[in-house]
Structure 1
Amino acid sequence: MLSLYFYKTDFVEKKGVNLTPDDRGYYFGDGIYEVFRVYNGRIYEQQAHMDRLQKSAADVRITLPYSLEQIGDILTKLVQLNELVEGTIYMQITRGEAPRAHPFPAEATPVLLAYTTEVKRPLTTIQNGIHAISLEDIRWLRCDLKTLNLLPNVMAKQTALDRGVQEVVLHRNGTVTECSASNFMIVKDNVLYTHPANNLILHGITRAVVLRLANALHIEVQEVPFTLEQLQQADEAFITGTTVEVTPVLTVDGSPIGTGQSGPVTRKLQLEFERTFAL
């Protein structure tokens, strides 16, 4: 299996990726990114990712170095060249190279970097579930933009691992937002609840898919804020994300959610996800 990268204008081996310390992504985290899932050699929900990429770029005022159609062609070719059947594509676009200064540089050209990784579906955690803790959400107020500024997420995830669990449920003054690397949903009395897709959470691609599947399954959905107390009283909880799909959350802060097992609504959504995408 090959391992080519796309860097700036061409497909190259890793040693051909000559990142410079003058790249604003290195200095300031001045860039955006997307992670695409590949199933059976096909890019999952590609258009939704592209739409989000375009919004992130527009809001942080980065001019995309290629059209969305050209970026799609680049990613498709990267999958083909690397003979990727199941895995992920990581792609980032930085504002470009310039001497270190806070204002946007007038002459910098945005830089696109993309590569693939072979990753299998996390079937054990999807089936058996994970455990989580809760932490105050200390991130900035534009969490809807998929930028390179991920240090708070990294610190939250490491705190979870240090405490022997797999994820963090973030909250702002007791109101649950999302997780360190995924969106979060609960079920109470067969109603699905999740935080509204505003500036406080990332508009997850798999989140949107799950809400679409819930609608098809006639599961009532409420996109409304809920509290940590309501979380603890929920019947079920699960996370959604490109690499985690639909994964049950069994406990939060050591307390079981519902029965402490994967619930019927979660399982129904998992089965529909697999059926819809022929997994």
Structure 2
Amino acid sequence: MFLPPLLTYYGLLSLSNRVVRSFAIAGLLGPILSGFIMTGVTEGGPGISRLLRRIRLWRVGFGWYLFALIGLPAVMVFATIIQPGTFASLDVSAHPITFTYLNAFVSMAIIGGPLFEEPGWTGFAQPRLQRMYGPLVGGLLLGGLWALWHLPGFLIPSEDVRDIPPRGTVLDFVVFALALTGLRLIIIWVVNNTRNSVFMAILLHASWNTFYAASLIRLFPTPTVLGSYSNLTIAAWTLALVLIAVTRGRMGCPAEADTLSEETDTPPR
């Protein structure tokens, strides 16, 4: 789905902007469609029902909401201000008001990808990779696949520092891929601790995207933030490494858990 827009950009195909956007939207829907289709193929109707329950599973411990909406952004800020010269650029007045931020959050959750991505990545792929390779190795593999799925967007370069994420060089993609792999491990940890809630994966993913795009680059309008994703790579891996150490690589996954058949009617944690 991403190939026609790429060919159009490089002059090998002639498509209107409307058609190009249609292909881009179809590509965005790939993970959710694949997740439901493959769940139906491998588990039938009961599997689809379980996946839908996991997407609707919002009744989890309040602390997980605090982590997703406040804790993760706090780590992102910390990883940003430790970079030389960044704190001096802080512009608190640039932070959007509450309503504007909430509007951006909803838009980012839907248009920005989390709602259409996580039913595939978290709903279908995570439990299978986790069962086959364990939560740590499975998470690294899933993070790598997730990053590669974003690769077509980096094949259309841009030198505009307002573009997010920055995508001017191969290094930009490498830094971005590392950040996404670390973030995926964090998402896996949250999901494993919230009864496999896909809803929480969507929320965490949306919090990351929204705080970066609507707040962080406005609060710190410096080239080290606007022109690089390295601060978020530091944020993701600082937290991921702490979680790996604390959980001894289990990332909240019980040693004998069968994540494909686990029901979601146990009390929230």
Same fold (TM over 0.5): no
TM-score in terms of structure 1 length: 0.27
TM-score in terms of structure 2 length: 0.27
Task: Pick 1 or 2: higher relative contact order, CA cutoff 8 A, min separation 6.
Answer: 2
